[in-house]
Amino acid sequence: MTVSTPESPGRLLVTGGAGFIGGAIVTAALERGWQVRVLDSLRRDVHGGLPTPDPLVDFVVGDVTDPAVVAHALGGIDVVCHQAAKVGLGVDFSDAPDYVHSNEVGTAVLLAGLQAAGIQRMVLASSMVVYGEGSYRGSAGFARPGPRRASDLDEGRFDPLDETTGQPLEPALVGEDDPLDPRNVYASSKLGQEYLATSWSRGTGGRVAALRYHNVYGPGMPQNTPYAGVASLFRSALQRGEAPRVYEDGRQRRDFVHVRDIASANLAAIEWTAASAEGAFRAFNVGSGTVHTIGDMAAALSAAAGGPAPVVTGQYRLGDVRHITASSERLRTELGWRPSVTFEEGMLEFATAPLRAAVR
């Protein structure tokens, strides 16, 4: 294992380091003096155009589900930042085998490789989707409503209702100890990654920080694909000269966090793994701490880009949740992390920032 020096914190492996979030982590790590290796499969359905690797990065092309590739990539590494995953809601259930193979099998192969290499530190990219619907307050106190019914959505009743009063529940910030309720294949695979990492940490004494990202956006985000997030869909529409199409009534509450803040949270989590006790697994929400609606984002992007005003369609996707916003207090308190990009600054930049090439 490489010995850290005052000039370098050590050697870091970033799986999925050629991707949107992974690339931002690589840039931030290099700025902090880390020696960085990237393992990325460069899948054509993710990378519309092949990236140009930074000459300072040791780049390994290969799949995290391949034990031989993983063993090679882990040589001399001190800590792993695991970002490689198939993301998004997906097209339909036919995507399930790919999600499970890419996310859960890939994580299992990586963790087995960590044990074989004697590496005991990992940061795992998780997601807010492990919670399902957000947390609420109602007449009986804390509430976690079940999936919304198509009949309600068809009638424009988008907010979960208090079973006692029939009034909309009041959205609340989600904490890391709130119930977990994954509601699609992607969400299930992300929670599966967390469970695998928990088992590994208990069995080997390894330390894992699982970062539950909320709605990430920023320069280099992938263009419009079936798996893209809402920020990418709006930005791609504006780039085509079209109005962003906002589902439901646009009042869905989210926490939009800039990709540079996600990168800094990863570096803070890497430091946490160096100081934490053996066998530690800790989940952290990563959000900006400021609540906005999806309609807010669409309007801010349209205004910043000088494009057409958003169109609120009333359409819905049955798998979507209504409100989910993060409490990132644990990350702030325990890791000393603070976001640096405000919503206004981020939207102004993102409105004209370059996007990743479209997938063909």
Q: What is the DSSP string of 172-204?
A: EPBPTTSPP---SHHHHHHHHHHHHHHHHHHHH
Q: What is the per-residue pLDDT for 55?
A: 85
Distance CA 37, CA 54 (A): 10
Query: What pLDDT, on the 0 to 100 scale, is given for residue 1?
Result: 41
State the pTM of this model: 0.93
Predicted pLDDT at 54: 79
Give me the residues of the chain with pLDDT under 70, please: 1-7, 45-51, 89-91, 224-228, 358-360
Backbone angles phi, psi at 97, to 5 degrees: -60, -40
11, 27, 81 from 264: Cα distances, Å: 17, 10, 12
pLDDT for 2 equals 42
pLDDT score at 225 = 60
Q: How many CB atoms lie within 10 A of CB 87?
A: 27
Q: How far apart are CA 116 and CA 96, in angstroms?
A: 29
Distance CA 359, CA 224 (A): 8
Closest CA relative to residue 214, chosen from 154, 118, 297, 106: 297
The pLDDT value recorded for residue 5 is 45
The separation between CA 140 and the C-alpha centre of its own chain, rounded to angstroms, equals 32
**Whole-number Å distance between alpha carbons of 141 and 172:** 11
Tell me what the pLDDT averaged over the chain comes to. Answer: 92
In whole angstroms, give the CA distance from residue 123 to residue 267: 9
Three-state SS for 247-310 is CCCCCCEECEEEHHHHHHHHHHHHHHHHHCCCCCEEEEEECCCCCEEHHHHHHHHHHHHCCCCC
pLDDT at 3: 42
